[in-house]
Structure 1
């Protein structure tokens, strides 16, 4: 399984399936077979593409605060993985970034997730990741999906996007930061300290 994971990772890093992307292909993800926490989102944004680094922006600062970890742990602890639905920046449309190309998930996602045998906590950001990881919540509002996932206890949390553009939602749903974020931080702490939930 270790060799399979290594080969997949090399193939994804070299992927050029979507040659027609506005800024060209540049797969951005962070995976190690030791990953216990997996952050799954939509796709890298323009800043991530230009810096060749995921979440190195105000969204990432807020996400790390929600998780209760610093930048060093976020990027260098092999137990933390980042695996978006689309590996490359998909370009910008009239209402924000374009959707991740479907070919990316159909080519890489299932095979890669099967090799990540140590994942105990999955953090889901965005509608495309939600549809893949929690299809039973498809069509729910962000608030409904966040509430339902936070009470399931199955190791999957839906998060609102940490972008500053989401400040209004966060103000209107203050319960997320007062009720859900402490639970997420505790799960992250458990996974990074080797504690089990039982």
Structure 2
């Protein structure tokens, strides 16, 4: 049962000795969810609030999806499961990669409880490397070939403010990929744009 599994995940301390802020697994899911979002790992703000994508990256992601916070944080509609469920710590240029223990330990167990997912957004290279077969070497090439995996998986760049330049250089992303995702999300969630 998903409720029991989520309690187990949120109590996980598998790699706590390696985590600078301790374990605080962040996940959102319900058997009725229609969209799955798989990112990298929580940042410090998400760690403190236990609310996924509760930062400027999340603001941009919600903008891409044209969803308000209430809809985005409704587990009955949207599941959110990062590659690493806890904040991994700071590296030389940003946060460290997600811990490798999480996905093999938890992802399939969560998937088994989510029968209604019709689209999964794979945000960043860690999620794409784990879930996509026969993918190109670079993130840009992978995102450019998104139709190869759609609608099951959609590879996306990270919505971090650090990627603003990438978005400016690749206008096809918002014109094509984001438009396709919005249409799916709004259709399956029954959201009508005025």
- Is the structural similarity TM-score above 0.5? yes
Which residue, out of 5, 8, 14, partners 1:17? 14
Which residue, out of 59, 62, 69, partners 1:61? 59
The Cα shift of 1:150 comes to 3.4
1:161 partnered with 2:179: no
Aligned to 2:147: 150
CA 1:153–1:109 in structure 2 vs 1: closer, same or farther (change >3 Å)?
closer
Aligned to 1:115: 113
**In 2, Cα distance between the equivalents of 1:77 and 1:88?**
19
**In 2, Cα distance between the equivalents of 1:78 and 1:107?**
23
**In 2, Cα distance between the equivalents of 1:142 and 1:51?**
29
Q: Counterpart of 2:134 in 1: which secondary structure?
A: helix
Superposition pairs of residues 29-44 of structure 1, within 5 angstroms? 29-44=27-42
TM-score, normalised to structure 1's length? 0.90
Superposition pairs of residues 165-184 of structure 1, within 5 angstroms? 165-184=162-181
Segments of 4+ moved more than 2 angstroms? 150-155
Deviations 1:65-107 (A, max 9, x none): 1111111100125110100011100001112211111111121
**In 2, Cα distance between the equivalents of 1:106 and 1:179?**
32
Aligned to 1:193: 190
Q: Counterpart of 2:158 in 1: which secondary structure?
A: coil
Residue pair 1:150, 1:158 contacting (<8 A) in 2 also: no
Please list every run of 5 or more consecutive structure 1 residues that lacks an aligned counterpart in the other structure.
Answer: none
Aligned to 1:71: 69
Aligned pairs, how many?
Answer: 190
- The CA RMSD measured in Å over matched residues stands at 1.5
The Cα shift of 1:135 comes to 3.0
Deviations 1:164-193 (A, max 9, x none): 000110111111112221111001012112
Please list every run of 5 or more consecutive structure 2 residues that lacks an aligned counterpart in the other structure.
Answer: none
**In 1, Cα distance between the equivalents of 2:173 and 2:124?**
16
